[in-house]
A and B are shown apart, each in its own frame.
Chain A
Amino acid sequence: EVQLVESGGGLVQPGRSLKLSCVASGFTFSNYGMNWIRQAPGKGLEWVAYISSTSSYIYYVETVKGRFTISRDNAKNTLYLQMTSLRSEDTALYFCARHQLWVDNWGQGVMVTVSS
């Protein structure tokens, strides 16, 4: 069974940093691209970033470019999202999601709240 478990969320002040992790199990992590997708409270889904299986290809939504960094450690079956210069509009539930031409599995999400 595919499992994706996010962690690392919490309450953080504007301008500060936070690093999310997503541990994958139940499949060969190194064979799949991965995404971070977020959902602001009461809002819809927004794709944030993608990383290919070998980290060769990395893409971001424009609003996080230069502030967020997606990375992965295939030896540890773990996906990361380093978030810096956080803004109130980054407040959201962050999902990691497995990619195979489309997203086929999602984690349960981890909440990030940016507030003073």
Chain B
Amino acid sequence: DIMMTQSPLSVAVTPGESASISCRSSRRLLHSNGITYLSWYLQRPEKSPQLLIYQISNLASGVSDRFSGSGSGTDFTLQISKVETEDVGIYYCVQFLEVPYTFGAGTKLELK
């Protein structure tokens, strides 16, 4: 199985500042079709997860452009600029390259 390792597991950010979350996969997530199957989700407290980013860096519909994704191969990053109250929650990276689809442990973002 592909292991997904996120860091840090928690981060406290001052509103208006930026945050960065890393995700590392145990194998490259690039498919032979050229697509890298790495996505990011935010789960706000008591809510269902919400898609933020797909294919490393594509912003999901309706998601603020304060969110951005980057990376390649096995190392990926989610950047959040100008953090707002609504960004509080747990962020997960996940690979959809092969089953079993696997999630990172999650990174809890809190406000200072």
Contact = CB atoms under 8 A, between A and B. Distances in A.
B102 interface: yes
A47 interface: yes
Interface in B76-112: 90, 92, 94, 96, 99-106
B49 interface: yes
B39 A106 contact: no
Interface residues of B, number: 24
Interface of A: 35, 44-47, 50, 59, 61-62, 95, 101-109
Given A44-B92, A45-B92, A45-B94, A102 B102 contact: no
| Chain A contact residues: helix, strand, loop or mixed | strand
B100 A104 contact: no
Contacts of B37: 101-102
Contacts of B3: none
Nearest to A46: B103
